[in-house]
Structure 1
């Protein structure tokens, strides 16, 4: 999958998430403000775990990108790139679901801040994993066009 195609897919997913979140945000604005909730709620746990997964995906994607560029280690970074792509995709989906299902804004216990963080970090993980995957592919030898490296 080309980098342009992955970026277009990530942009479409983000745009779709915002399009689905708009009615929920309008509904939340029409409701009276809820009191601030302190402590862990199930939605906060869900959003925080998605954000942590996205952060792990960013770290693994960065390491895979460095490995595929030959900066560290001697591998291709192909496995790390796939892990970063999968972790980023899972985080984006879960972050989007948290944002869409949130009944209020920050401080209401709905995990909306963690949901948005998971969306952003998940997209970064997808981009890093895609870049590492693209640069880990073998390229053709320019001196002998019939032979691949």
Structure 2
């Protein structure tokens, strides 16, 4: 019989640290994508897509390798949040790239 115990609220295991890094990358991508969208900044759009994609990959790895459910200290909840934030960064960066690729007259 396997018993899953809730993790200490203040302990940072490898799963939580990975989810935290993935979320931070996704958040940086969202901020950069928003700035790129507001200022027609092509390089920022590329950075947003890259940061969002890396955040999604790391968050996905955390979700796939998490043992147990949410609250066990494996970073499952943070991994899911990182996936969503990374997806938002990729979408914002993609929209900014699409807008920057259009001719100026249109």
Question: Does residue 36 in structure 1 map to residue 11 in structure 2?
Answer: no
Instruction: Give the RMSD, CA atoms, in angstroms.
Output: 1.5
Mapping 1:1-149, distance limit 5 Å? 32-38=2-8, 39-68=11-40, 77-139=41-103, 141=105
The total of aligned residue pairs comes to 104
Q: Which fold has the larger relative contact order, with Cα–Cα distance below 8 Å and residues 6 or more apart in sequence?
A: 2
For the pair shown, which has the larger CA radius of gyration, 1 or 2?
1
User: Gaps spanning 5+ residues in structure 1: where?
Assistant: 1-30, 69-76, 143-149
Q: Which runs of 5+ in 2 are unaligned?
A: none
What TM-score do the two structures reach when normalised by structure 2? 0.91
